[in-house]
């Protein structure tokens, strides 16, 4: 898969806090060991920057193996409004997102290091378990999921991480919508954002005359299929479209909308395909 250098090297989220709050390292370690297996904190006097090594999750290099690390850093200032704008524009399932972000006065970042060397499903499960462990100790107003550029309501996130309802891709993918101005009437690009950061192609469709909610379902269902099976759809193969009789041709290409990454483009054919197509 064609991913720009550094695109998926680190995976992170930011928890938006009502006020700065330090973490108790020992309390967090207990929760990490319960969810992630044997973990070891890095010795440090800093209270606003914690690092943990997860011995069960190891990555091989020529020089040997190293454990994946989780890093937690506290920031005593709110995020810039401009930095939150793209996520606010593409968060479709939480009406209270903007109000929640306006209340925050600090943030906490959770990120991984060496995680890109793990199988992507293991990486994402480990990361979820770290985030859950932190959230048990630090209540937050909202979650900014960087890889999918989406704002998440904390209670919704916790609900989808219950064992009986575990959903690995909430909120690791986002379906975005962009209306193209000064072109065909109703011309749009819809894509997913989040899979490429895990090493699996995102999806996109450039179209006109199709209902966006129906297109969103196609993109979500296709994203879950790729997450489960990997990059298994070859160029020229087809998937079912909105109607049972629809066969939409697939092609790997670079994304039409930033960030730069490889996507699997879905071509709905005439009369719905837009842009420069065969």
- For the chain, the structural domain boundaries read 12-165, 174-267
Q: What is the mean pLDDT of residues 191-196?
A: 97
DSSP reduced 3-state for 258: coil
List the structure tokens of 166. 């575990």
Binned at pLDDT 50, 70 and 90, residue 4 comes out as: very low
Per mean pLDDT, which range of 36-40, 107-111, 220-224, 268-272 is the poorest? 268-272
Alpha-helical (H) ranges within 38-119 are 81-89, 97-102
Q: What is the mean pLDDT of residues 129-156?
A: 96
- The model's pLDDT over 34-83, given as tens digits with 9 standing for 90+, comes to 999 999 999 776 778 999 999 999 998 878 899 999 999 999 999 998 99
- Look-up of token digits 């994203």: 223
């Amino acid at each position: 898969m064609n991913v720009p250098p550094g695109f998926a090297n680190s995976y992170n989220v930011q928890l938006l806090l009502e006020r700065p709050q330090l973490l108790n390292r020992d309390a967090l370690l207990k929760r990490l060991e319960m969810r992630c297996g044997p973990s070891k904190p890095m010795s440090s006097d800093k209270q606003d920057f914690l690092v943990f090594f997860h011995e069960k999750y190891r990555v091989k290099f020529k020089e040997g193996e190293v454990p994946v690390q989780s890093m937690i850093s506290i920031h005593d200032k709110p995020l810039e409004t401009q930095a939150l704008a793209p996520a606010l524009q593409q968060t479709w399932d939480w009406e209270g997102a903007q109000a929640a972000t306006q209340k925050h006065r600090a943030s906490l970042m959770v990120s991984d290091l060496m995680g890109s060397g793990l199988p992507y499903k293991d990486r994402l499960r480990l990361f979820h378990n770290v985030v859950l462990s932190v959230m048990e100790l630090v209540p937050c107003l909202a979650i900014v999921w960087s890889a999918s550029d989406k704002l998440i309501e904390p209670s919704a996130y916790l609900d989808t991480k219950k064992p009986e309802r575990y959903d690995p891709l909430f909120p690791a993918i986002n379906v975005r919508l962009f209306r193209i101005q000064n072109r065909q009437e109703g011309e749009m690009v819809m894509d997913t954002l989040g899979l490429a950061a895990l090493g699996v192609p995102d999806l996109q469709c450039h179209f006109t005359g199709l209902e966006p909610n129906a297109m969103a379902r196609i993109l979500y269902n296709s994203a879950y299929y790729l997450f489960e099976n990997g990059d298994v759809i070859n160029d020229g193969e087809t998937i079912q479209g909105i109607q049972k009789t629809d066969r939409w041709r697939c092609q790997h290409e670079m994304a039409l909308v930033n960030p730069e990454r490889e996507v699997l483009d879905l071509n709905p054919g005439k009369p719905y395909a837009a842009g420069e197509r065969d």
